[in-house]
A = this chain, B = another copy of it.
Amino acid sequence: MSNLTGTPTRSSVGGRRADYSTAAGGFPVRLHVQSLLRKTPSSLKSPEKIMKHDEMGIVSAPERKLVKQLRASNTRFSAADSTLAVNGKNKKLTDDWESKKLDLVAGGRLLQDGLVYRQNISVRSFEIGGDRKMSFGALLNHLQDTALNQGIITGLLVDGFGSTREMSRNNLIWVVSTLHVVVDRYPTWTEVVEVDTWMYASGKNGLGRDWIFRDSKTGETLANATSVYVMMNRETRKLSKIAKEMRDELEPYVMDCERPIINKDGRKIQKLDVSAADQRCTGLSPGWKDMDINQHVSNVKYIDWILESVPHSLMERYDLNAMTLEYKKECDMDSVLQSLSKRVSEGSTDSFSASKVVEFDHLLRLENGREILRGRTVWKLRDTNNRVNSYIY
């Protein structure tokens, strides 16, 4: 399925090289965390005016900031009416700032002063694999979708490219730099999953977004994900610094948290030595449906290609437990790629039976050798007893 994210590319800002991939689903900025979080809102209006809306239908950042301060931290907050999210129209925000939970058709609502977006998703028949469980690709689709829905429900997202108003005026889009996903248990067909997502400042050069997937009945954590985004000019494909207007725009939506939900894997992903690769798929080309809105290859397609290079004998008995991706360069409709993988945990790719955990390093590259993406996957031996039950319901 085509989607809005994708478009890994490489460009430079101030002489530095940075790695990233476009993503309509993220709302991160290249900003200075401390200055952002400690900034005193200026030109605040009277409390009455806080409940009003500007002519474009969005409460200004300083107003939102004040509302955040005024509200008790445990008060639920609804910043959009159902028309807003259902129609995708950028209509006025609702006057109801109280704890009224407005479950939209998509099932989304805001929590914790509007900083956390929560949505229930039901695992559909077209999202599952042969084992009746949600596929990894389907899970990634929901990372993007819930991020975009938060942007719609809050009114932060104002164009179809996932940009804020100021970003759109400056022709800027979001790009993914890294993505890290850990799946403890894949939900099964018809299971209902509760997804929480929020944004936070991440270092000097970007902003992060985290997700938690939970069993909606038991609260059991099913999966966590962390992504770091930066901003890019849509035309020049160069990274961009964040102007004050954008900082102000984003500030009310940024969580004050110190670190992502998934701790960084300390081990750097080395560039895979091509001659040492265990597995290799060549001649990979995107189809027209793999293109995103900018006519670049979508994020999810990259993951398909990575998984194609993993031995089928592994997939039959192991579940994908974790994936770390570092985007290096974009590719387009005419690109022809190779997907290489190498087992980095002990043992050979022919004998997995002795190992409970198997790790691979991955490389997607153009046929001319240029690096597109580096990745690492961790696979865990499947509990076959559980699996049998999932076939009968």
Which residues of A are at the interface with B, using a C-beta cutoff of 8 A?
1-4, 24-25, 85-90, 105-107, 120, 122, 124-130, 132, 135, 137-138, 141-142, 144-145, 148-149, 152, 159-160, 188-192, 287-289, 291-293, 295, 300, 304, 307-308, 312, 315, 390-393
For A391, list chain B residues within 8 Å (CB). 159-160
- CB pair A129–B160 under 8 Å, yes or no, is no
For A190, list chain B residues within 8 Å (CB). 85-88, 106, 152
For A291, list chain B residues within 8 Å (CB). 130
Partner among B120, B137, B288, B393 whose Cβ is within 8 Å of the Cβ of A89: B393
Chain B: minimal CB distance from A179 (Å): 15
- CB pair B122–A3 under 8 Å, yes or no, is no
5 A-B pairs (CB sep. < 8 Å): A25-B125, A87-B190, A88-B188, A160-B392, A289-B307
- CB pair B287–A304 under 8 Å, yes or no, is yes
In Å, the complex CA distance between A256 and B49 comes to 60
Chain B: minimal CB distance from A176 (Å): 15
Partner among B2, B105, B148, B191 whose Cβ is within 8 Å of the Cβ of A122: B105
In Å, the complex CA distance between A321 and B148 comes to 29
For A120, list chain B residues within 8 Å (CB). 105
For A300, list chain B residues within 8 Å (CB). 126
Measured CB to CB, the nearest residue on chain B to A152 is: B190
- CB pair B88–A393 under 8 Å, yes or no, is yes
* A130-B293 contact, Cβ under 8 Å, with A88-B393, A106-B190, A392-B160: yes
Closest 8 CB pairs of A and B: A88-B190, A126-B141, A88-B393, A105-B122, A3-B126, A2-B129, A125-B145, A125-B148
In Å, the complex CA distance between A2 and B300 comes to 14
- CB pair A145–B124 under 8 Å, yes or no, is yes
- CB pair A1–B288 under 8 Å, yes or no, is no
- CB pair A130–B393 under 8 Å, yes or no, is no
- CB pair B392–A159 under 8 Å, yes or no, is yes
In Å, the complex CA distance between A137 and B1 comes to 7
- CB pair B312–A86 under 8 Å, yes or no, is no
In Å, the complex CA distance between A188 and B89 comes to 12
For A127, list chain B residues within 8 Å (CB). 1
For A141, list chain B residues within 8 Å (CB). 124-126
Chain B: minimal CB distance from A115 (Å): 21
- CB pair B2–A130 under 8 Å, yes or no, is yes
- CB pair B135–A289 under 8 Å, yes or no, is yes
Partner among B191, B288, B292 whose Cβ is within 8 Å of the Cβ of A307: B288
For A129, list chain B residues within 8 Å (CB). 2, 289
* A126-B105 contact, Cβ under 8 Å, with A135-B289, A160-B393: no
Chain B: minimal CB distance from A153 (Å): 11
For A138, list chain B residues within 8 Å (CB). 1
Partner among B88, B125, B160, B289 whose Cβ is within 8 Å of the Cβ of A137: B289
For A315, list chain B residues within 8 Å (CB). 288
- CB pair B191–A292 under 8 Å, yes or no, is no
Q: A2-B128, A129-B289, A130-B292 given; name 14 further pairs at CB < 8 Å.
A: A1-B1, A1-B135, A3-B128, A105-B122, A106-B190, A124-B145, A126-B300, A135-B289, A137-B289, A159-B393, A160-B390, A287-B308, A288-B307, A288-B308
